[in-house]
A and B are shown apart, each in its own frame.
Chain A
Amino acid sequence: MTLKKEVISILVDNQFNVLSRISSLIGRRGFNIDTITASATQNPDITRITIGFSGNEQSLAQILTQMAKLEIVREIYVLDPNESVFRELLLIKMKADKSNRGAIIEIVDIYRAKIIDLSKDSMIIELTGAPEKIDGFMKMLDCYEMVEFCRTGVTGIHRGVREYTRFED
């Protein structure tokens, strides 16, 4: 069975334990989550949770309908890749000295990444972009020695104007 990657946007009540409610459901049902992020919205009563998810159609329907049952969920939808923009932030620390610094900088430039910290034998690179772009960048760095990295997980938003509708289950 081929797993499809989807990005799901959930608008939830801004309460102290919304994340535990969401993650409890994910744990209980064994949903296959790649990333999860939470952030504020323009409405202080509402938090946005963005989930990167891999699954088939049935498991996607399950995660949507099960999440929708949570009292705290006001709206839930899949971000259509054709109508949305996705971004993720990468911070990656590479071993780099004068022997290979130039080569790494070349890759950094091609990807329009930024070097945000430099020492004698290492550097930290920042890159923002769609998750696939970050995957590609990291692949290019594969042949150099990486110390550690962190990725924020995907966040995404619909293009154009979209009304928030109060979610009804």
Chain B
Amino acid sequence: MKMTGAEMVSELLLEQGVDTVFGYPGGTALNLYDALYEYQGKIRHILTAHEQGAAHAADGYARATGKVGVVMATSGPGACNLVTGIATAFMDSIPMVAITANVADELIGRDAFQEIYITGVTLPITKHNFFVNNIKDLPDAIRQAFRIAQSGRKGPVLVDITKDVTGMMTSFEATGPYPVKELPKSDPDTLLEVAHLINKAKQPIVYYGGGVAASDGGPALRELLEKADMPGAYTIMAAGVLGYEEKRNLGLIGMHGSVTSNKTLDQADLILALGTRFSDRVAQNMKKFGSKATIVQVDIDNSEINKNVIVDKSLVCDVKDFIEKIIPLVDKQERTDWFEKIKKWEDNSYKPVDDDTCLKPHQLIGKICSMTEEDSVYVTDVGQHQIWAAQFIKHIKPKSFITSGGLGTMGFGYGASIGAKIACPEKRVIHITGDGSFHMNMNEACTAVTNNLPIISVIFNNKVLGMVYQWQGVFYNKRYSQTTVERKTDYVKVAEGFGAKGYRASNLAEFEKVFAKALKDEGPVWIECLIDKEEKVLPMIPNGGTVDDMILG
């Protein structure tokens, strides 16, 4: 079939099963967008306010579904605006394909209008990228991009296409997508050795991360923890893999993790690290992390083994495959002594105190949880509110806690909420944000309004860049440099200006009332929640510290 390069891009997207694209047009993308006009019955294009919002939306779409998120942008400024979004996806191993237009090939390298060497810019933040200046290479580049984005440890791939290629006519053959590379399976001998370690361990712990979420390993993990009677502790990337109330699921680990999780890991004699990378927010002191334990690491990415913490044994394979295959090899046992010790730590752990006259973060989140459906999707921005959400949301289902864990991108939330809501229209989407983060990308309200997306943005307005403010308070002698933002934003009016609804609450009863209304509203809603700026995220382990340095109040 004869068609233009731009039409071919649309055909290639359809071939991959893509029906939704987030993006923003421009001069060099004219051909691409002309083709989208023709394909609008088959491919839905969501126009955002800003390319960054589009990239986060594609990311949120991918996180909510496990499918590849697709974003499209024009050359130069359009492509540059994707950078933070691509980096965010890269740090959290999210499958994404970014398609950018570039100037015509004859202008490349001449500093043409809106020419940017985006493949150079994105080298360190993509799994791979392609520069296509020959139409013959176009189908292969796009098929490879989707294959790479989904293979092994997932991540973003960028395809940059020159304008002349998108306008050229040629014949196209729909051969179908390239098969995703098969995941490596666990080595049987090492499996036996690890099973033996688990069986003879007295105080084991499973420390698990985003890899378990990415491989849908939750149910298998639950079974393993039950059979071998082991506790588990998770990184922020694995929130929702197991239920909050499950007895063996101790909670978040690391800098703002629970006392119980951190103590248990510290005292463990065996650490089974599944799909997690010993990041500096968890293994804050790389030398002392789990120093009493034998450490076993299972990851799909060979380069993660021994990267931050030297481990005793490792398997490079699909984490789910590992868990499923080790279950029959472990003994069923009851570790009563171990769980008794853990219970003592739990009894003495940090517990925030209720106060109904104001809005306490844990109560606010508790209220949100009790009033929303069990399968709601929570999307956060970055700061204190993000960690409170991770600590206190009680019913997170898999793929339902969407947060920028690795890059910690303020401004991620609104775009990602839009992506999640487009991906899961039947699910409730709650956006938990801070006043600082929300100011970064609140412009995406126009996207939510235009597309009539009933996203509820709960704005934790403590009138400070809270997370930084907290560190300045604790470690910089209360020298609050540029964190006490004196913004006069009237959120209710701004929401209305965008065509959304806006509410305000300063105590729990008020919140309950407006949240009940918001749950029934048709379009996007903002709820400004007034929080005391002295509220802290606790517990807290200072940089480079261990569980012994934990601050509880």
- B485 — which chain A residues lie within 8 A by C-beta? none
Query: Interface with A: B71-79, B122-130, B231-239, B318-326, which one?
Result: B122-130
Contacting pair A68 B302 (CB below 8 A): yes
**Inter-subunit contact A58/B306 (CB<8 Å):** yes
Q: Which chain B residues in 263-290 approach chain A with CB under 8 Å? A: none
Q: How many A-B residue pairs have C-beta atoms within 8 angstroms? Tell me.
A: 35
| Contacts A20-B123, A25-B124 given; does A69 touch B306 at CB 8 Å | no
Q: How far is B212's CA from A60's CA once the two chains are assembled, in angstroms?
A: 28
Closest to B119 in A: A17
B301 within 8 A of A: yes
A70, B124: Cα distance in complex, Å: 11
B553 interface contact, C-beta 8 A: no
C-alpha spacing A169/B152, complex, angstroms: 9
Residues of B near A169 (CB, < 8 A) are 152, 302
How many Å from the CB of A110 to the closest CB on chain B? 45
In the complex, chain B residues whose CB is within 8 Å of the CB of A21: 123
Give the docked Cα–Cα distance between A69 and B152 (Å): 10
The interface residues of chain A lying within 8 Å CB-to-CB of B144 are: 71
Residue B307 lies at the interface, judged by CB distance under 8 Å to chain A: yes
A68 and B148 CA atoms in complex are apart in Å by 14
Q: Does A62 contact B (CB under 8 A)?
A: yes
Q: In the complex, which residue of chain B has the Cβ closest to the Cβ of A71? A: B128
Closest to A17 in B: B119
Q: What is the minimal beta-carbon distance from B175 to any residue of chain A, in angstroms? A: 20
Asked whether any CB of chain B lies closer than 8 Å to the CB of A41, the reply is no
Interface contact A62-B123, CB-CB below 8 Å: no
Beta-carbon contacts under 8 Å, B127-151 to A: 127-128, 131, 144, 148
What residues of chain B lie closer than 8 Å to A20, measured between beta carbons? 120, 123
CB distance from A53 to the nearest CB of B (A): 16
Does A61 sit at the interface, judged by CB under 8 A? yes
Is there a chain B Cβ closer than 8 Å to A24's Cβ?
Answer: yes
For A66, the chain B residues whose CB sits under 8 A away are 303
User: Does B305 touch A at the CB level, under 8 Å?
Assistant: yes
By a CB distance below 8 angstroms, the chain A residues around B148 are: 71
B471 nearest CB across to chain A (Å)? 26
Contact B123 A65 (CB under 8 A): no
Min Cβ gap B231→A in Å is 29
Is A166 interfacial (CB 8 A cutoff)? no
B310 at the interface (CB under 8 A from A): yes
Interface status of A28 (Cβ within 8 A of chain B): yes
* Cα distance, A81 to B310, chains bound together (Å): 26
Q: Which of A24, A69, A71, A72 interacts with B303 by CB under 8 Å? A: A69
Contact of B305 among A24, A65, A68, A71 (CB under 8 A): A65
| Chain A residues in the interface with B (C-beta under 8 A) | 17, 20-21, 24-25, 28, 58, 61-62, 65-66, 68-72, 169
Question: Lowest 6 A-B CB distances belong to which pairs?
Answer: A65-B303, A71-B128, A24-B123, A65-B302, A28-B124, A66-B303
Given contacts A58-B306, A58-B310, A66-B303, 10 further A-B contacts (CB under 8 A): A17-B131, A61-B306, A65-B302, A65-B303, A69-B301, A71-B127, A71-B144, A71-B148, A72-B128, A169-B152
